[in-house]
A and B are shown apart, each in its own frame.
Chain A
Amino acid sequence: MTDAFLSIRGIRKAYGAVTAVKNVSMDIAEGEFMTFLGPSGSGKSTTLYILAGFQDPTEGDILIRGKSLLSTPAHKRNIGMVFQRYTLFPHLTVGENVAFPLRIRRRPKSEIIERVRAALKLVRLEGLEDRKPANMSGGQQQRVALARALVYNPPVLLMDEPLSALDKKLREEIQFEIRRIHQETGVTILYVTHDQEEALRLSDRIAVFSQGEIDQIGTGKELYANPATLFVAGFIGDSNFIDAEVIAVDGANAKLALPGGVQVAGVPVHGTARPGAKTSLMLRPERIDIELGTRPGHLSGTVADITFLGNNIHLVVAHERAKPISVRLPFGHSALDGLTSGTKVTLHFNPESAHGFVDASTSGNG
C-alpha cells in the first residue's frame, strides 16, 4: 500500500453473531474531505467510532502517517469530533467549552485565550465567550462544537451526522460554513451522513456504505455517472430501474431484452453477465428523451403525471409491463407542447448512458 496520510485497512467489527462492519479499507489524502454515505445500519458510524477510539475493531488496522492508531487510547489520539447531538458541556460557558481541550493539555493561559478567540472567529461566533450553551440556538451550538473540535489543530476531524438535527435552511447554511472552514484550515475531514445531497455538496470523495461494506469510493461525479452497484445507482441521484434480461454479451457491454419486446445493445453492464441472466437496467431521468406517439422496437408508455418544477418538468410515464418511469425534461422542450395525461410517448436514450446491473442471485456463482 502507499504512504497515504490516513489508511484504513481491512476493518471488521463483529458483535457476537452480528457483523456491523465486514471489510472496510480506504486511503485518504491529507486535507481531503471524505464522506461516508449510506443508510442507517450500514456500518458508517461504527467505522467512525473505531477511528475515534470508542470501539476496538475485531480485525484490521488504522494508520496515520504510517503509524498504527489502535494502540493509542481515545483521549490520546488527538482527533477532533463533532456529534449529531451538540454535546457541549452544559455547565461551562462557550469560552470554557472551547478552552477545555487546551486546559487539559495544560497550555498557558494567554495562549488559551488567544486560541479560543481565533477558533470562535473561525466559526463566526466571536465575542460569545460568556454565553451558556442553553441560551444558544442549535446552529450556534453546533458551531461551538466545531470550534472546540478544531481549537487544538487536530490532523483529522470526524463528523457524525452533525446537521441531522437542524432544519433544512440552517443545514444548508452550516454546510457552507463547513466547506469554508475546510478550505481555510486544510484539516482532513471524515463526514458521516445518510443524505446524498449533503455528501455531493461537501465532499471531495464519497465512500458508499451498504451492509457493512463499501460498494464504491469515488468523487460525486464518478459515482453518479458510473455507479458500480445497483445500490450505489439507487442511492445517489434519482434513477429508474427496468427489469431486463441479457441476450448477448460483448466485452463490458451487453444486449438486453426489455419489456414489450424492445432490445437495446451496447449497455455497460456490471456483474457476471450471461445470456438469460436477470438484470436491472438503470436510467437517469434526465437522460431520457421524449417523442410524441409510439414507435415499434422502442420503449413506450402513457403519460401519467406532469409536474412543473421551475427549471425542469417531471414526467411519470406508465408502462404496461414495467414500473412507472421518471423523466425530466428541461423547460422549453419541444415535446411539451400539448403534452397531457394520457398522451402516448416513446422514450429514447443513449445505451452508453445507461447501466445494467446483473441480479447477483440469478447470475449463478459469479
Chain B
Amino acid sequence: MALSTTIGSKRGENGGTGYLVPAFSLVLLFFVVPVVMLLLRSVTEPELGLQNYAALLGSTTYLRIFVNTFAVAGLVTVISVLIGYPVAWLLSIMPDRWSRLVLAIIVLSMWTNLLARTYAWMVLLQRTGVVNKTLMSLGLIDKPLPLVNNLVGVTIGMTYIMLPFVILPLMGVIRGIDPAILRAAALCGATKWQCFTRVLLPLSLPGLAAGALMVFVMSLGYFVTPALLGGTANMMLAELVAQFVQSLVNWGMGGAAAFVLLVVTLSLYAVQLKYFNPYRGA
C-alpha cells in the first residue's frame, strides 16, 4: 500500500503543495482578484457608497430586466424539463443500438459551436425563414410571425442549447433506478400514472432538480443567445452588464449588475449543495 499518500508525505517527492502554486496564482490573480476589484468599483464609482445598487434595484427599467432575466430562465428551464424528461426516460431504457445514436446526436449538438447554432435559429426564424414559410404554406397563418428579436426566439434558441444539460444528468439518474422497483409497483396494483407519480418521479427527482437548477443558473448568465435572438425589449442581465461596460463605460453600474448576477448564481448553487446532492453517495 502506498502509505506515502495517506499518511503524510516526504517533502517534495510526492507532489507537495508547491505544485499547486501555478494554478493557484492563476486563479487568484486572474479570477478572484479581478472579480473583487470589479465589486469594489461598484461601490466606489463614481463615489463611495451603494448608489449604484440603489439605481439598479430602484429603477423600473432595470428591474424589468431582472424580472425578464428570471422569467426567461424560468421559462427555458420548465420547457427544457418538460421536453427533456421523457427523452431522458426513453434513453435510459432504449436498446443500446438506438441509445448510442441518440446520445451521439445530443453530444454533437452540445459540442457544436454556440454561435453556429444560434445563427441557425436566426436564419430559421426570420420573417422569410423556413419556419414561417412552412407555416404559411400549411395554411396555419397568412402573415409571417415575428419569431426573432423577441421572447419566442430567445426561448426557442436557449431551449435548444439547454436541452442536453437536462437530458444527460437525468438519464444518468434514471439509469441508476432498478427496473425491478417499477415492476414491483405495478404488481402491487398501481396504474401507470400512479407508478409514475409515486415511484419514478420521486426517485428521479434529485437528477431532475440538479439538471433544472443547472439550466436555470446557466440561463440566468447567458449572453450570446439572448443578445442575438432577443430584442431590446427583453434584454437580459448579462447583456446589461456588457452594455454598461462597453457602450456606456459605466464601471460602477456594470460592476453592480455583475455582482448581482454573481450573488444570485452563488446563492442558487449553495441551495443546490445543501438540498440536492445527487452526485455524492446517496
Taking A15-B8, A55-B8 as contacts, is the C-beta distance between A49 and B13 under 8 angstroms?
Answer: no
Which residue of B has the minimal Cβ distance to A45?
B3
The 8 Å CB contact of B3, one of A46, A73, A74, A85, is A46
Q: Is the CB of A55 within 8 A of B10?
A: yes
Which residue of A has the minimal Cβ distance to B5?
A54
**B contacts with A, residue count (CB < 8 A):** 8
What residues on B are CB-neighbors of A19 within 8 Å? none
What residues on A are CB-neighbors of B2 within 8 Å? 54
What residues on A are CB-neighbors of B3 within 8 Å? 45-46, 49, 54-55
The 8 Å CB contact of A45, one of B1, B10, B13, is B1
B112 interfacial contact with A, CB 8 Å? no
Proximity bits, B1-30, A CB within 8 Å = 1, else 0? 111100110100100000000000000000
What residues on B are CB-neighbors of A74 within 8 Å? 10, 13
Q: Cα distance A56–B3 when bound, in Å?
A: 12
**Which of the listed residues A49, A53, A83 has the most CB atoms from chain B within 10 Å of its own CB?**
A49
What residues on B are CB-neighbors of A46 within 8 Å? 3
A341 interfacial contact with B, CB 8 Å? no
Proximity bits, A146-164, B CB within 8 Å = 1, else 0? 0000000000000010000
Proximity bits, A58-101, B CB within 8 Å = 1, else 0? 00000000000000011000000001110000000000000000
What residues on A are CB-neighbors of B7 within 8 Å? 15, 20, 55
What residues on A are CB-neighbors of B10 within 8 Å? 53-56, 74
Interface residues, chain B, with chain A CB atoms under 8 Å away:
1-4, 7-8, 10, 13
Can you name 14 A-B pairs with beta carbons within 8 Å? A15-B8, A20-B7, A46-B3, A49-B3, A54-B2, A54-B10, A54-B13, A55-B4, A73-B13, A74-B10, A74-B13, A83-B1, A85-B1, A160-B1
> 16 other contacts beyond A54-B2, A55-B4, A84-B1, with CB at 8 A cut-off?
A20-B7, A45-B1, A45-B3, A46-B3, A49-B4, A53-B10, A54-B3, A54-B4, A54-B10, A54-B13, A55-B7, A74-B10, A74-B13, A83-B1, A85-B1, A160-B1
